[in-house]
Amino acid sequence: MLSIYYTQKTLHMTPQFWEWCKLQLPLSICEKIEKGLSKSKMETSLLGYLLLKVVLAKNNVSDDFAKLYYTPEGRPKIGHDFDFNISHSDEYVVCAFSKDHQVGVDIEKIKSISLEFLKDFFNIDEWENIQLSRNSQETFYKLWTQKEATVKADGRGLNIPLKEIIIQQNHGYVESAKWFLQEIPLHKKYMMYVATNEPIQCYRSVKINFKQTH
Amino acid sequence: MEKEELIDNLKAQIIRQLNLDVDPDLINGESPIFKNSGLGLDSIDDLELVALLGRNYGIKVGYLEDIQKKFKTLNSLADFIIKESVEQT
């Protein structure tokens, strides 16, 4: 079963809530986050770790949070009995979790972007698809999140040249590997895709609320 | 354009274009662009940076993977812009 956990950040965190969140996480993670320069990105990063901790607890693998490590390519990993992947954009932080699949997830807020300089990151068919579509911005974000979810599931991230990730009919191809893509509707202003190593029969979405009452 | 002036311009352009809530005075030439310890730019921000380089400096970046490897700091990004500008003249 694939589960998509998500939380929505609607306000800047109060100092009290920030301190409470930090108490839930290892000191090393808090120190890493607090080296950042952007307050909103620090808050999002903190929420990402907090969401992961909640996800592990809900799936009865909470003790594994201490085993969190990063691969040489920068992908977070924990155990071998499950896989997870985190993504965030603007207000939303999401965590895809599965004990049955390898997963990659990407969410992006759909906002205006200059497409004219981005042609080299897509192959001819994909670029034509973007240019000829009724809503080129939406088509761009669809292809982008599909590619991102695929390379995150693969584990090598942007070390794979984007043009070499082929997206065809809800499948992402990286070298000889085939990944299955599923759109996850969350909000009309956002595009989100999950990539898995096997087809998904069904998935569930779970909203996690962190109330700023602390 | 002097390198220091270029770095100041890049700082302002990146903050504005990517809508970052960052105090410019806290950023210097050695501030990491992509790591969480610095500006913390993510993948879609990479594309905004590519568009910024194309629009403001006439520079084409062909491989997104180059962005995070070559432009670790504002200093390295400024050096790249200066080098590309010399080669184009």
- CA distance to partner chain B, nearest, from residue A89 (Å): 9
pLDDT recorded at residue A113: 87
B39 in reach of chain A (CB within 8 A): yes
- CA distance to partner chain A, nearest, from residue B29 (Å): 14
Dihedral sign for Cα A153, A193, A76, A38, please.
Answer: positive
B40 in reach of chain A (CB within 8 A): yes
Q: Which residues of A touch B (CB under 8 A)?
A: 32-33, 35-42, 45, 88-89, 106, 108, 113-114, 116-118, 120-121, 144, 148, 158-162
Contact A149, A168 (CB under 8 A): no
pLDDT recorded at residue A203: 96
ipTM: 0.81
pLDDT recorded at residue B48: 87
Whole-angstrom distance, CA of residue A112 vs CA of residue B43: 15
CB contact under 8 A, A37 and B51: no
Question: Once rounded to an integer, what is the mean pLDDT over residues A125-130?
Answer: 93
CB contact under 8 A, A38 and B21: yes
Whole-angstrom distance, CA of residue A61 vs CA of residue A71: 20
pLDDT recorded at residue A96: 97
pLDDT recorded at residue B37: 62
- CA distance to partner chain B, nearest, from residue A134 (Å): 22
Report which of residues B84 and A52 the model is more confident about.
A52
Report which of residues B69 and A19 the model is more confident about.
A19
B70 in reach of chain A (CB within 8 A): no
Task: Give percent of chain B with pLDDT exceeding 70.
Answer: 90
Q: How confident is the model at residue B35 (pLDDT cuts 50, 70, 90)?
A: low
Chain A CB contacts of B27 below 8 Å: 37
Indicate whether A205 pLDDT > 80: yes
- HSE-CB of A169 using CA atoms within 13 angstroms: 0
Task: Give percent of chain A with pLDDT exceeding 90.
Answer: 60
CB contact under 8 A, A158 and B48: no
Non-local CB neighbours of A197 within 8 Å, separated by 6+ positions: A101, A102, A153, A177, A179, A180
Q: Which two tokens stand for residue B46?
A: 């990479």
CB contact under 8 A, B60 and A161: no
Q: How confident is the model at residue A214 (pLDDT cuts 50, 70, 90)?
A: very low
Question: Once rounded to an integer, what is the mean pLDDT over residues A97-112?
Answer: 94
Point out the residue among B21, B31, B54 whose CB comes nearest to the CB of A40. B21
pTM: 0.90
Chain A CB contacts of B64 below 8 Å: 121, 158, 161-162
Report which of residues A10 and A86 the model is more confident about.
A86
Amino acid in position A212: Q
Question: Which helix H or strand E contains A50, and what residues bound it?
Answer: helix A39-58
